[in-house]
């Protein structure tokens, strides 16, 4: 009975809290944002012709005090500018304006004036310009955990001082923009919880910072499709929590040290395709028991495939095309790869017969073996016959 009474009291309190109307200041800020849109996707009708309580407006959620806590307006067909007025929502926790056609700059300094905001997602818009350094008065109390500014038209260099002050940052996605300069080394030095960094499809140059190996919690690192150079620093393999590592098309070179590769035992995706790597696939690849995606295509790698590859029983995709791998495929027992769906070894120097174990991969839907030196059973029999080919057929 006591428990039921407490539950009822909490329910009533919740209903009372949700009945609290939004503040006039927050309502004014939202209407200013609306006024800055050239196309509002029907928000003007939904907001202004409906209830006067902005907590009940489309895409808006409030806390118990009537302060706007969430603005979620993704995929609403919005066009126009992101006005600084949104920064006046002092209780704002989450802002999602992704998948619209918003343009102009991003007023981060105003959006960050709220010390509470934890998520900003403006991905898949047409925002442009540079990200400027934020005032120290803002960054020292920044609560932001997730910033997604991917798939826009941002340019310039990353503001280094700002990112050093992100004490709570967990995930940063700035992919598919036109950022330049060197990849900063300070992300995980600022935040011990930093777990995701995607800077792919930009114009970054220089080496991969060895300091990224200090990111003890990082699970996703994507730096592909940039103008990097050099090798993968040994220190990066100290980031043993990595699950997805993509350095595709980054102009990197070097060989793969077996001891280093074995450290990344949590890898699910390893994509090093379209670089200039040489040498063999190390035997330690077999220690990556979680590996599902292996992309080493379009490099200068060589040697035989290690039999240990058959120990990666979770593999779904193996892409080794356009290299100089050689030897016989029969060294790998493909029958242990029951999750394999795609195998592409086109454009190598493999010899011998296609092993029967490949045909035991029941989920295999794509197999490409072209431009190698395989032969079938009939050719093998003819090559071993003591008679000339025409006599053998006779």
For residue range 246-266, list pLDDT tens digits in order.
999 999 999 999 999 999 999
In the prediction, which pLDDT does 89 show? 93
- Token pair in block for residue 288: 């990556």
Question: How far is residue 199's CA from residue 151's CA, in Å, rounded to a whole number?
Answer: 11
- Tens digits of per-residue pLDDT, 341-352? 999 999 999 999
CATH code at position 338: 3.80.10.10
Block residue for tokens 């038209």: 153
- Do the domain assignments include residue 159? yes
From residue 287, alpha-carbon distances to 75, 174, 176, 227, 260 in Å are 42, 32, 33, 31, 11
- Tens digits of per-residue pLDDT, 312-323? 999 999 999 999
The single-letter DSSP state of residue 277 is: E
Residue 152, domain extent: 66-74+91-102+115-123+141-393
pTM for this entry:
0.89
- Do the domain assignments include residue 270? yes
User: How does residue 188 score in pLDDT terms, banded at 50, 70 and 90?
Assistant: confident
Residue 8 in this model has a pLDDT that exceeds 60: no
- Do the domain assignments include residue 60? no
**pLDDT (mean) for 161-169:** 81
- Do the domain assignments include residue 57? no
- Token pair in block for residue 359: 């045909």
146, 150, 152, 157 alpha-carbon torsion, rounded to 10°: 80
- Do the domain assignments include residue 249? yes
In the prediction, which pLDDT does 392 show? 28
Residue 58 in this model has a pLDDT that exceeds 90: yes
Please state, rounded to an integer, the average pLDDT across all residues of the chain. 88
Residue 140 in this model has a pLDDT that exceeds 80: no
- Do the domain assignments include residue 1? no
Residue 126 in this model has a pLDDT that exceeds 50: yes
In the prediction, which pLDDT does 254 show? 96
- Do the domain assignments include residue 39? no
In the prediction, which pLDDT does 134 show? 78
- Tens digits of per-residue pLDDT, 202-242? 999 999 999 999 999 999 999 999 999 999 999 999 999 99
> How many separate domains does the chain show?
1
Question: How far is residue 212's CA from residue 223's CA, in Å, rounded to a whole number?
Answer: 12
**Of 141 and 123, the one with more pLDDT:** 123
- Do the domain assignments include residue 256? yes
Half-sphere exposure (CA, 13 Å, Cβ side) for 324?
10
- Tens digits of per-residue pLDDT, 289-299? 999 999 999 99
Question: How far is residue 296's CA from residue 240's CA, in Å, rounded to a whole number?
Answer: 20
User: How does residue 138 score in pLDDT terms, banded at 50, 70 and 90?
Assistant: low
């Amino acid at each position: 009975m006591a428990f039921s009474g407490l539950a009822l009291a909490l329910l009533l309190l919740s209903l009372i809290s949700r009945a609290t109307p939004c503040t006039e200041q927050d309502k004014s800020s939202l209407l200013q944002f609306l006024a800055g849109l050239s196309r509002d996707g029907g928000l003007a009708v939904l907001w202004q012709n409906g209830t006067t309580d902005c907590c009940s407006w489309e895409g808006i959620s409030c806390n118990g005090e009537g302060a706007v806590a969430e603005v979620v307006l993704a995929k609403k067909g919005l066009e126009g500018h992101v006005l600084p007025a949104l920064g006046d929502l002092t209780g704002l926790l989450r802002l999602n304006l992704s998948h619209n056609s918003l343009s102009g700059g991003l007023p981060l300094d105003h959006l960050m004036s709220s010390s509470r905001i934890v998520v900003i997602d403006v991905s898949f818009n047409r925002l442009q310009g540079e990200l400027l350094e934020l005032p120290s008065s803002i960054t020292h109390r920044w609560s932001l955990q997730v910033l997604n500014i991917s798939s826009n038209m941002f340019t310039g260099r990353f503001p280094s001082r700002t990112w050093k002050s992100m004490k709570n940052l967990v995930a940063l996605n700035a992919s598919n923009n036109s950022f330049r300069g060197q990849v900063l080394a300070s992300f995980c030095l600022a935040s011990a919880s930093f777990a995701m960094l995607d800077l792919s499809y930009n114009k970054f140059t220089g080496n991969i910072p060895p300091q990224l190996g200090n990111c003890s919690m990082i699970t996703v690192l994507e730096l592909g499709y940039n103008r990097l150079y050099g090798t993968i620093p040994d220190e990066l393999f100290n980031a043993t929590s990595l699950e997805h590592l993509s350095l595709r098309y980054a102009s990197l070179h070097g060989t793969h040290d077996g001891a280093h590769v074995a450290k990344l035992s949590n890898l699910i995706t390893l994509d090093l395709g379209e670089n200039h790597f040489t040498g063999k696939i190390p035997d330690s690849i077999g220690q990556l028991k979680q590996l599902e995606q292996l992309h080493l295509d379009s490099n200068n790698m060589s040697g035989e495939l290690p039999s240990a590859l058959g120990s990666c029983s979770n593999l779904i995709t193996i892409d080794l095309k356009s290299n100089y791998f050689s030897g016989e495929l029969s060294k790998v027992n493909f029958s242990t790869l029951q999750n394999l769906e795609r195998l592409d070894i086109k454009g190598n120097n493999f010899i011998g017969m296609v092993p029967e174990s490949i045909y035991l991969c029941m989920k295999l839907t794509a197999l490409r073996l072209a431009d190698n030196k395989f032969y079938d059973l009939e050719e093998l029999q003819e090559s071993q016959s003591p008679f000339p080919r025409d006599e053998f057929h006779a």
